[in-house]
Amino acid sequence: MRITFRELDFQPKPIELEGTVKLEGLEKETPDLLQLDPVKVRVTAWKEQEIYPVQGKQTTNVVLRCSRCLTSFEKSLEMEWDETFADVNRVNPEDEGEDEEGEELLLVDIHQPTDLTPVIVQALLLHLPFAPVCDEHCKGLCPQCGTNWNHESCQCDNQRVDPRMAKLEELLKRED
């Protein structure tokens, strides 16, 4: 999705763009992301003095791997983002790409089409769960035999013993 900010210099009101963005290869960079549908994006942009605020809303469906039981599951993601762009030729080098409030400005050549894909990817990656879980009550896998505890139980002894107390447990067993 591309936008030419120079067009906003002649528009009294915000412009809106809608489109679908395919993000190829993102599954290879994120191990728990198995499948990613095209991202539907709606962008609103306008000009305020010498900067160009852009608000985006995007939705997509993903297939993730559960971090507890390793099964795949589908999830819908909706995210919003705000970025502020400025003309690289008009920004004071001493400002170091920040506006008056100290917020980061993305510097672009307003006469050239600007690709919004990096902003779309960043918003998506920030909204992906760090450790995806198929269900909040997911029991996970048995660490010894690998049985999925959501579907069946196993006979493994999974009692965890604090290694600092292991000698004390041996002493108590000798006394019995």
pLDDT in tens, 105-140: 888 888 899 999 999 999 999 999 999 999 999 999
CA distance 22 to 117: 9
Which secondary structure element, helix H or strand E, spans residue 76, and what is its range?
A: strand 72-87
CA distance 133 to 50: 44
Contact indicator for 23, 40 with CB cutoff of 8 Å: no
6 confidence band (pLDDT: 50, 70, 90) = confident
Task: Kindly state whether residues 25 and 92 are assigned to the same domain.
Answer: yes
Task: Kindly state whether residues 123 and 160 are assigned to the same domain.
Answer: no
Contacts of residue 103, defined as CB under 8 A and 6 or more positions apart, other chains included, come to 84
Task: Kindly state whether residues 94 and 14 are assigned to the same domain.
Answer: yes
87 confidence band (pLDDT: 50, 70, 90) = confident
Task: Kindly state whether residues 100 and 176 are assigned to the same domain.
Answer: no
Task: Kindly state whether residues 145 and 83 are assigned to the same domain.
Answer: no
Task: Kindly state whether residues 162 and 127 are assigned to the same domain.
Answer: no
Task: Kindly state whether residues 55 and 125 are assigned to the same domain.
Answer: yes
Which secondary structure element, helix H or strand E, spans residue 118, and what is its range?
A: helix 117-127
- With a cut of 90, say whether residue 39 has pLDDT above it: yes
Task: Kindly state whether residues 72 and 153 are assigned to the same domain.
Answer: no
Task: Kindly state whether residues 92 and 151 are assigned to the same domain.
Answer: no
- Backbone phi, psi, residue 55, to 5°: -115, 135
pLDDT at 9 (0 to 100): 83
pLDDT at 46 (0 to 100): 92
| pTM of the entire predicted model | 0.78
Q: What's the number of domains the chain is made of?
A: 2
Q: What is the mean pLDDT of residues 39-61?
A: 93
Share of the chain above pLDDT 90, in %: 52
Task: Kindly state whether residues 129 and 145 are assigned to the same domain.
Answer: no
Measured in whole angstroms, how far is the alpha carbon of residue 41 from the centre of its chain? Answer: 15
What residues make up the domain containing 167? 139-176
CA distance 131 to 148: 18
Query: Token pair 């019995």 is at which residue?
Result: 176
Task: Kindly state whether residues 154 and 130 are assigned to the same domain.
Answer: no
pLDDT at 146 (0 to 100): 86
Average pLDDT of the chain is 87
- With a cut of 90, say whether residue 91 has pLDDT above it: no
Task: Kindly state whether residues 36 and 70 are assigned to the same domain.
Answer: yes
64 confidence band (pLDDT: 50, 70, 90) = very high
